[in-house]
Each structure stands twice: as C-alpha cells, then as structure tokens.
Amino acid sequence: MQHLIERFRHQRPHPDGELRFLIERSPSDFRVHLLVGDPTRLGFPADDSFDMRTIVSAIAFDNGFSRITGKPHYRRFLWDKLEADRTQVFLVPFRHETVRWALLRTQPLEAEPSVLHGELLHLSESEPYPLKLFRLAHLDDPTGLFNRQALRLHLEQIDTRADYHALFIDLDGFKRINDTHGHLAGDAVMQSIARRFRSLDDEAATFYRIGGDEFVVLLKGCKDEGVLDYTRRLNRSLRDLPVPGGTMSLTASIGVLNLAHVTDGFDALIRRSDEAMYAAKTQGGDSVHILE
C-alpha cells in the first residue's frame, strides 16, 4: 500500500486547498490514507491515515437525507458507494464546528481494484440544492410530516412486513373548520395536529399526511391490542385543538391493516387501507376497523 501512496502523492502538482486520498478496502473495514490536503476541513484529526471508526465518527448521520430515508438505510447507501467498483460522485455531511457537506468522487484503481482513489470536489456549509429538492419531494407542506412519496419509499425498504401495521386516518368533520374559519385556520389546525402526533413520541410510529385530512401511520412491532391502544392515543391527541376564538375537538375514523396482508405494492396498500377506513366511517366515525 505504501508504494501506491508515494506514487499518487508525487503524481502531479496540486493547488492549495486540494484534498485527495486513497481508500483501502477489505471485507470488514475501510482505511483512508491521506495523499494531500488538510483533513481537519472535514472534521478529521490531523493524521495521515484513518480507520473506519474514525470515518464513522466524523460523519453527521443525523441529516436531511437520513431523516427521510432512515439512518440504517443511509449508512448502507454510503457503504455501497465505498464498495462500488465504478466511479461514484456523492454528498457526505461531516461534523465540524458546523456540518459541512462534502461532494466526493471515488474511483477504483485498475491495477488495485480493492483501492479507491478519492478527491474532494466541493465543500459547503449550506444545505446542498439536491438535498433541498429531496426534502421538498418527501415532506408535506404545511405539516412537515412525511408525504405520500415518502410512504412509497419507506414501504420499499421494509423487509419483514408482518412486523408493521398501517393505520389509515380520516379526520371526522374537519371540513367544518375550513368552512367556519377559512383555509388558513385549517392549515394552522393541521400544523397543530402534526405537533400532537409527533408529541406521542413513539419511535415505533412514522406519520404521513397523504392528502387533505387523511394521514397514514406505519406502526412497528405491535399486536392487535397494542394497535387499538395506539388508536385511542391518536384520538385523544385530537382534543381541544386551537382555532380562532377558542378550541375544537375532532375525532378520527381509522382503518387498520397488517402489511403482511398486502403483497401487491403501494397502490394495493392505499386501496385496502382506504377500504378499512371507510368501514370505520360507516360506523358513524370516531371508530376503528381492523381489516383481516
């Protein structure tokens, strides 16, 4: 490895500020060898070589990409880039005094396919434009919850569907808020509902607004009784919502479906969850229907 490092260090002149490195790959580890540049720009110590633990500790895994895709999936995304046997260009957020987004390019060496040559193309402290687009495409306005596109993405990432229930929520009587107080007040109530949902603080639940007054919750690791208990918590969170001049309480019709019963993809899930919700709605609202 040392001969490669020396060869690349003297391969060509380099301008001030350039950062280049070699990545030595093995089945269980990565090691980065600095060729030229200042690694402290990315939050690394001022050393010539770093192991995988140092690399991981320098990456800001809590970022806009990981909040949408999930941290495990985001980690896998980064490792896939480092394991790829072709040229890759990708963004990585590194911890510094603030998070710095690095645009990196890696390329395997023809003579040594287990080694990648890497270089820093661009470094910025501002949110990259691709991340802004990604966030806008997967988050709902005005609630900030995940949207329909994010739900589709997350369903594709689920390996064991039997571990999940989908709760399809339709707010009973929400139209009267818009009719009485106007759409701006309706948006404010939607934001309050989103805050109430997030305040349930359950890591097993992921919330989506898929349109109008309809929401979906993906709930992991609950049996039927646990799911019913969770629907009661959801309905309690809809009490005393602030509206102009006072408060208003809402209820919800909730259809419940175990994802193991849906094998035909996103559209089938929406269709069957919708059936379960309407079955709850025909019971007069403020009710739950579990679709077998």
The pLDDT of 176-201, averaged and rounded, is: 88
Which percentage of the chain shows pLDDT scores above 70? Answer: 98
Q: Which long-range contacts (CB under 8 A, 24 or more apart) does 238-243 make?
A: 238/171, 238/193, 238/196, 241/189, 241/192, 241/193, 241/196, 242/188, 242/189, 242/192, 243/177, 243/181, 243/185, 243/188, 243/189
Per-residue pLDDT, 267: 86
pTM of the model: 0.81
103 CB neighbour count, 10 Å cutoff: 16
Domain map (residue ranges) of the chain:
2-132, 139-291
Per-residue pLDDT, 12: 63
pLDDT at 194 over 90: yes
CATH number assigned to the domain covering 2-132: 3.30.450.20
CA distances from 210 to 35, 66, 197, 204, 284 (A): 49, 21, 15, 19, 22
| Per-residue pLDDT band at 64 (split at 50, 70, 90) | confident
Is the N-terminal amide bond of 27 cis, ω within 30° of 0? no
pLDDT digits (tens, 9 = 90+) for 198-239: 998 778 899 999 999 999 999 998 887 889 999 999 999 999
pLDDT digits (tens, 9 = 90+) for 3-20: 888 877 777 666 767 899
pLDDT digits (tens, 9 = 90+) for 30-50: 999 999 999 998 889 899 999
For residue 272, give the amino acid letter: R
Q: Give the span between the Cα atoms of 172 and 178, in whole angstroms.
A: 13
Average pLDDT, the chain: 89
| Per-residue pLDDT band at 90 (split at 50, 70, 90) | very high
2-132 and 139-291 have identical folds: no
Pick the CATH number of 139-291 from 3.30.70.270, 2.60.40.10, 3.40.190.10, 3.50.50.60: 3.30.70.270
The pLDDT of 231-260, averaged and rounded, is: 89
Q: Give the span between the Cα atoms of 166 and 171, in whole angstroms.
A: 16
pLDDT at 244 over 70: yes
pLDDT at 119 over 90: yes
Of 45, 121, 117, 134, nearest to 82 by C-alpha is: 117
Strands 214-220, 205-211: pairing kind: antiparallel
